[in-house]
Structure 1
């Protein structure tokens, strides 16, 4: 039997200024296809929300709807985005959430004014092994030893040594990249480490500096080719620069 829907609530997308929030009306809502995105405002702040029955699953349609609402809001001005799945039980809870941290919300929106998040990831380059061998006499010696005395354990040691050398090379390149890009951003945040990743950093970049920032990343990607592969994503809602959920979630 299908799982019955949970108690009705309000799915919360973001907090922003009322004049910006109004542009989200008409966007596709998370959950019920007939739900309408609405704006709950009070004293210069607004929460963008839509009715929802139960907790939505992370389906492609709903993830896309969530991102589309945030993208539309971010085009209008600064926004405090919610993570996917934030639900409040009713309008009173949402409005109370706006009131309880009003000054913090306003300060955060002011800090994000005219800025967007850009995320830069970097991974090591396996094809750089010949360069690593030229630079690392110890690794060359280990490879020769493994060739003379092959075996499972020897191969594992060699593989770990190669992976470590490539990772260290990429991490040094990542440090060089970060040092060059940091002055172009208002703030930076280290992201979660990924397997094989040498860099996962989000930059809060002024809109006026976005062109210079992208050009700098392109130049660094060329300069560091063979040490690290860079992937730039943005502009994004400023998830990494909003410290916590601003509206209480329902049970």
Structure 2
């Protein structure tokens, strides 16, 4: 029976101290160690048999990466990256040492902040004040109630709330962009009009948060803003910078 392999959390600079007291995925949790080549190293632990996306293991993975990112640059892996053995990890590190070293340098002193924007549920009153078409549909439904009329009204309200949220979010992004080194659009999220990640220098994190908080208050009748982070820089790691084994 073959060994379960090595669970890979991320790539850091060689010689990096691992977070004290932190352990890996599995039950019982596996001990962490570094496998190094040249100036970089992979953070690994024994891969538990039958690995699945249990909450306990998802949290162990994420919390370790957060601790690593707080102490220096890390190229984070998504949950579930398993290499068959140490030789495979070493080959991967050797093949991409230059690219990964450059990526670690680029991310040094930086973090990822994620901003999700969604329409405000209580924004109907403001929408009715601004949108004559929605007001007309509402009055028609009140005067002559019908299923089709209610459906058209509901669709118009949803579209109008989303439009107001997008307009407000565009203003927020324009204000935040100068404080970020890079931004990328994330995948669509149900209920959200935008999902954007920012690469922010840690010395700009507080000013960035202050801008988002101020604009969230200014546009509270149009959009709900949810800022998450600091996060490991998942959105700003080139796939070529992480081990290819899975």
Q: Give the Å deviation of 1:25.
A: 6.4
Aligned to 2:41: 46
1:159 aligns with 2:159: no
Any conservation in 2 of the 1:26–1:36 contact (CA below 8 Å)? no
Aligned to 1:86: 81
Aligned to 1:217: 212
Say if 1:14 and 1:121 are closer, same or farther in 2 by CA, change over 3 A: same
Aligned to 1:8: 4
The TM-score, its normalising length taken from structure 1, stands at: 0.93
Deviation string, structure 1 residues 20-67 (Cα, Å, up to 9, x no partner): 2x3246422111415211100010100000111435111121111111
Aligned to 2:64: 69
The TM-score, its normalising length taken from structure 2, stands at: 0.95
Q: More deviation in 183-192 or 27-36?
A: 27-36
Q: Give the Å deviation of 1:7.
A: 4.4
Listed as ranges, the gaps of 5+ residues in structure 2 are none
Q: Give the Å deviation of 1:110.
A: 1.0
Say if 1:139 and 1:60 are closer, same or farther in 2 by CA, change over 3 A: same
Say if 1:6 and 1:179 are closer, same or farther in 2 by CA, change over 3 A: farther
SS for the counterpart of 1:15 is strand
1:97 to 89, 92, 95: 92
Deviation string, structure 1 residues 176-221 (Cα, Å, up to 9, x no partner): 1000001100110111112221221111110111111111111111
1:207 aligns with 2:202: yes
Listed as ranges, the gaps of 5+ residues in structure 1 are none
Say if 1:6 and 1:188 are closer, same or farther in 2 by CA, change over 3 A: farther
Count of aligned pairs = 245
Aligned to 1:57: 52
Deviation string, structure 1 residues 64-100 (Cα, Å, up to 9, x no partner): 1111211221121010000000000000111111111
Structure 1 residue ranges (4+ consecutive) displaced by more than 4 angstroms after TM superposition:
none
Any conservation in 2 of the 1:15–1:79 contact (CA below 8 Å)? yes
Aligned to 1:17: 13
SS for the counterpart of 1:195 is coil
Aligned-pair RMSD on alpha carbons?
A: 1.6
